[in-house]
Every structure is written in C-alpha cells, then in structure tokens.
Chain A
Amino acid sequence: QKEVEQDPGPLSVPEGAIVSLNCTYSNSAFQYFMWYRQYSRKGPELLMYTYSSGNKEDGRFTAQVDKSSKYISLFIRDSQPSDSATYLCAMSLRIQGAQKLVFGQGTRLTINP
C-alpha cells in the first residue's frame, strides 16, 4: 500500500464548476499537508499548506484535512480555464530533524470554457 493515494484522473469539468480533489494516506505520523499546482513542463507551485484538521480557505481554494479519516481534499470554487493543471497532494513529517515529504501521484485537471 502506498503511503499517499491520489486518483490520477484525468478530471474534466466545465468552467464555473466546483472541483474536489482528494488524497488518502496511511501514515498517521504525517503532520503537514500541502497542495501543489503544476502546469505542463513547469515546477510545482505551492498552493495551500495546513497542519491541522479542518478547513483553510484562500480565495477560491479551500483545503480540508480530516486526520481521523486520513483524508485531505482541495476544493476549487468557480473554476477557471487557468486552473487547468496537475494538482499534487503532499504530506510531510520530521524524522530526526529532517523533513520527509511524500507526494501523491497527481490529478490532471482540465477546466473547459
């Protein structure tokens, strides 16, 4: 079983729709949870970062963490064609002072005008 599972998609939705992207994880020691956005042939860009259960909102984006279920989500409201990208979830914990980061497979999202 992979430490982090993410549906690779692809996911295609019409412009203006609400998008839900999800990851599950197996290691309860993960402390920090991140979402990265990656445009084609570019480096990942940090989108959201959180460390506690609950919701964190930033504009049209909401990150949700449920530690009891080992489940995180990213919601995109009023989706735009410019949101078309691959979204990677990532989780981290500190091991002997060093940060260990584990990524999901990434979900490829297309927003159709």
Chain B
Amino acid sequence: SAVISQKPSRDICQRGTSLTIQCQVDSQVTMMFWYRQQPGQSLTLIATANQGSEATYESGFVIDKFPISRPNLTFSTLTVSNMSPEDSSIYLCSVAGGNTIYFGEGSWLTVV
C-alpha cells in the first residue's frame, strides 16, 4: 500500500476564505481521489484526479467550489473555496491499489 501524506492535518478557517489541501504519495499513481466526510457521516467522493487531464467531479460537486490540481503522478491539491460552516468536514485524499483504495490521514477543517 502507498504512504499518503496530507497537509494541513487540521485547520480552523474563516467563513468566505479558501483553503488548499495538499496530498503527497510516496509512489507514482495514475488516479487520485478526493473524498469528503461530514461529521457523523460516511465518505462521499468529490472528484477523481488524473495526471494531465481535468478532474472528474461527482454529482453535487463543482470545479468552482472544489478546484483540483494534479501536476504530477505523486501530488495533488484540493481547494475548498468560499467556505461556509457546511464545509466543515474531513477531506481525504486516496489512491487506488489493486481493486481497493487507500486513504491519507485526512484534513479536518472547521469553518467558523
């Protein structure tokens, strides 16, 4: 399994601001995924990020709100834009391994 590092691990953000989460993997991977986990809820896929192409967003998520970069095969960023309290969640970076996926430690964001 890959080692996945996320920054920041947690942050408290002001309403209306934006925050960029970084994800670094210790090996080259084709597909990286960004999930959101709201308090007490399960995981929801935001988008799939492939290197060299635009990210593919799931229903209910748009690029203007969650822009994603994937500059190379080991790194990706997710920006949460114009944050509101409803964006308070854990944001998780993950990579595919075989027929399953592995997660980073997550970035816990609280919007006040």
Contact = CB atoms under 8 A, between A and B. Distances in A.
Interface of A: 31-32, 34, 36, 41-46, 49, 51, 88, 90, 92, 94, 98-99, 101, 103-106
Give me the 9 closest cross-chain CB pairs, A-B, nearest first.
A43-B103, A43-B106, A32-B99, A103-B42, A43-B105, A103-B43, A105-B42, A44-B103, A49-B100
A49 B99 CA distance: 9
Contacts of B102: 46
Given A32-B100, A92-B100, A42 B43 contact: no
Contact of B1 (A46, A51, A94): A46
Contacts of B10: 41
Interface residues of B, number: 22
Contact of B99 (A42, A43, A92, A105): A92
Contacts of A44: 43, 92, 103
Given A31-B99, A98-B31, A103-B42, 20 more contacts: A36-B103, A41-B10, A42-B106, A43-B4, A43-B6, A43-B103, A43-B104, A43-B105, A45-B103, A46-B1, A46-B100, A46-B102, A51-B99, A88-B43, A92-B99, A99-B99, A101-B45, A101-B100, A103-B43, A105-B41
A42 B105 contact: yes
Contacts of A51: 99
Given A103-B42, A104-B42, A105-B41, A41 B100 contact: no
A99 B101 contact: yes
Which residue, of B48, B92, B99, has the highest number of chain A Cβ atoms within 10 A?
B99
B96 interface: yes
B108 interface: yes
A98 B102 CA distance: 15
B112 to A, nearest CB: 17
Interface string B54-66: 0000000000000
Contacts of B103: 36, 43-46
